[in-house]
Amino acid sequence: MLNTKIFIANWKMNKSFNESLLFVKAHMQELIKLAEHGTIILCPSFVALYPMIEFAKSYKHSLFFGAQNCSQFDQGSYTGEVDAISLYELGVTYCIVGHSERRLLFNESNSIITEKIKQLLNTGIKPIICIGETGQEYQAKQTISVIGSQLQPILEVLTTSKNLPAITLAYEPIWSIGTGVIPDNNHLAMVYEEIQKMVAKYHFNHKIDFLYGGSVDQDNTKSILNNDYINGLLIGGASLNFQKFQKIVSLQC
């Protein structure tokens, strides 16, 4: 592999079951080629995960499939929830947790998020952990204190885990998600330096990959990845179109 950068396609609820399956069916060979240039993780809706993983099994490939969420509970009377164990059984290797849409629209607190991370760690699924501040908090220069309060309980959980896999930590300023506005390089450098300092206090032996997410497209990919701290991208809107996603991944080669 030429490069180990990580590219996560977070489709949110923007592709139906059929559209998700069609994406891999139509582009499987090209996706296999893309995976030679980086770690490609496709995150469709829950229902599309299994058929996509099964379809991919008929190819020799190094693609990964991730869920967008999981339950904070392991099993029991939790109508409508999907447990991490079932995701693991399907062949899911990653799961997004703490995305701002879950935090804001579904009232997920830091403690719910840490419970979800525990479930993922117990099953061996690698969490893709999202943190980030609102536009208001950014304007009020509260970025570091906000991400610090999101990160601290997460780091506490990680430090007590016996089965720590590689961890992926994505900084996603909420004011950048879906807006076309991205932070300037000074802001990014300052944020990642602070995140690294917070993480360093916990002396992890495991690899932590630092990602950026929020309005990533083919025009800003190079400048974002020029930041030495950033080892990959969490891509929403631009990952829905195969050609756009392909361009983004190819740009870092």
Q: Which residues are marked as active site?
A: 99, 172
Would you give the DSSP letter of residue 239?
Answer: G
Distances (CA, A) of 78 to 35, 70, 90, 125: 37, 12, 20, 21
Hey, is 241 helix, strand or coil? coil
Task: Give the shortest CB-98-to-ligand PGA separation in angstroms.
Answer: 11
What 3-state class would DSSP assign to 172?
Answer: coil
What's the min distance (Å) between Cβ of 41 and ligand PGA? 12
248 φ, ψ to 5°? -60, -50
Give the residue nearest to ligand PGA (CB).
236
* Residues in Cβ contact with 95 at an 8 Å cutoff, skipping those fewer than 6 apart: 66, 67, 68, 69, 70, 84, 87, 116, 120, 125, 126, 127, 128
With both helix axes pointing from N to C terminus, report the angle between 242-251 and 17-34 in degrees, rounded to the nearest 10. 30
Please identify, using beta-carbon distances, which residue of 86 and 235 lies nearer to ligand PGA. 235
Q: Which is nearer to ligand PGA, 56 or 96 (CB)?
A: 96
Smallest distance from the beta carbon of 99 to ligand PGA, in angstroms? 6
- 47 vs 239: CA distance, rounded Å: 19
Q: Are 81 and 120 in contact (CB under 8 A)?
A: no
The residue (of 83 and 126) whose beta carbon lies closer to ligand PGA is 126
Residues that bind ligand PGA (CB under 6 A): 10, 172, 177-178, 213-216, 234-238
